[in-house]
Amino acid sequence: MSFVPSYIKLYRSGELKERAEKADSILKACNSCPRNCLVDRTVDELGKCISGYLPIVSSYTPHFGEEPVLSGTRGAGNIFFGNCNLKCVFCQNHSISQNWKEEKKNEISFERLAEIMIELQEKQCHNIGLVSPTHFSAQILKSIYLAVEKGLRLPVIYNTNGYDSVDMLKLYDGVVDIYLPDFKYGNNEYAKKYSKVDDYFEMASLAIKEMYRQVGDELVYDGDVVVRGLIIRHLVLPNDLSETEKVFKFIAEELSPKVHISVMSQYYPTFRAQKDILMNRTIRESEYDKVLRLLDKYELENGWTQEMESFETYRPDFEGNREKPFSF
């Protein structure tokens, strides 16, 4: 790979170490996400994410189910973090995101997390994919520093639910080359009901604006694989519970119509969604077609869509450090 990740320059100047130390201090009164619980996680006080000081890694593997430009031919080096700062009733990864008593067993040291990054690099993955990193963003920054000391040279993907702290994201400026946020809702009422958070749209808007500020709307490639840029994911929910038009309008008018969007049809009623009359079905083809027409309305021409059958093939399975892929 000829591409040199941004964090190399920060490491050589000493700034990466300074940022890791600053991030670590945030955990003494944790505001690493917009929940602002202010608990002292360095002594394992628990906030809304129910996570202490050490990072929790549920699984790590070369992963071939991301967007083709991220998976490439050798896979994205995904690290799946346990627990979450959201409580989505329809979470497809609920076995690791909302099972904190079991996930506690998967705590690892900062040094071990750094070693995992190196292992994935040695397996010739194209990148390091941090999946659900938000509530461990401070800890991860420390481990990235340790991994760079050990020879890490892969681009880092920040694959997040979108409910991120702008201040924390600023510490990642020049560390993350690829941002891969969800933009789940255009409606706070639905966000509160289905993800248990009051201000999702405002906080996600601010966070994604910061990501856009850092990397812009252009995707940079090394061969056929993206090494820098922003890709926004949007999962289409039944009955327009995602209020897609507001999301697309924001992207087109507040960011850029050139931003790449990954429109996902893979929703299926899992976890607690099966008990909700509005959530207890897959999306209809007519609903997905309406979303695709909205892309045209707002002149959002860059990105990917999924086949309607993707909900049949995508079923996460974290046994044996593997996950079943879905297709774009």
The amino acid that residue 38 corresponds to is: L
**What does the pLDDT read at residue 236?**
98
In terms of C-beta density within 10 A (0-12 exposed, 13-18 middle, 19 or more buried), how is residue 324 classed? exposed
* E strand spans, the chain: 57-63, 76-81, 128-131, 156-160, 178-181, 220-222, 225-235, 260-264, 303-305
CA–CA separation, 238 and 287 (whole Å): 7
**What does the pLDDT read at residue 324?**
39
CA–CA separation, 2 and 129 (whole Å): 19
CA–CA separation, 84 and 135 (whole Å): 6
The amino acid that residue 91 corresponds to is: C
Alpha helices (H) along 37-184: 68-71, 94-97, 100-103, 110-122, 137-149, 166-171
Q: Which residues of the chain have pLDDT under 50?
A: 318-328
Pull the structure tokens for residue 325.
């892929």
**What does the pLDDT read at residue 308?**
85
CA–CA separation, 289 and 286 (whole Å): 5
CA–CA separation, 202 and 231 (whole Å): 19
Contact 230, 179 (CB under 8 A): yes
pTM: 0.94
Radius of gyration of the chain (CA): 18
Distances (CA, A) of 295 to 60, 160, 254, 285, 302: 34, 22, 15, 16, 9
**What does the pLDDT read at residue 4?**
95
Our CA angle for 1, 129, 67, nearest 5°, is 85
Residue 5 CB neighbour total at 10 angstroms: 25
**What does the pLDDT read at residue 313?**
67
**What does the pLDDT read at residue 17?**
98
For the domain made up of 7-321, the CATH class stated in words is: alpha beta
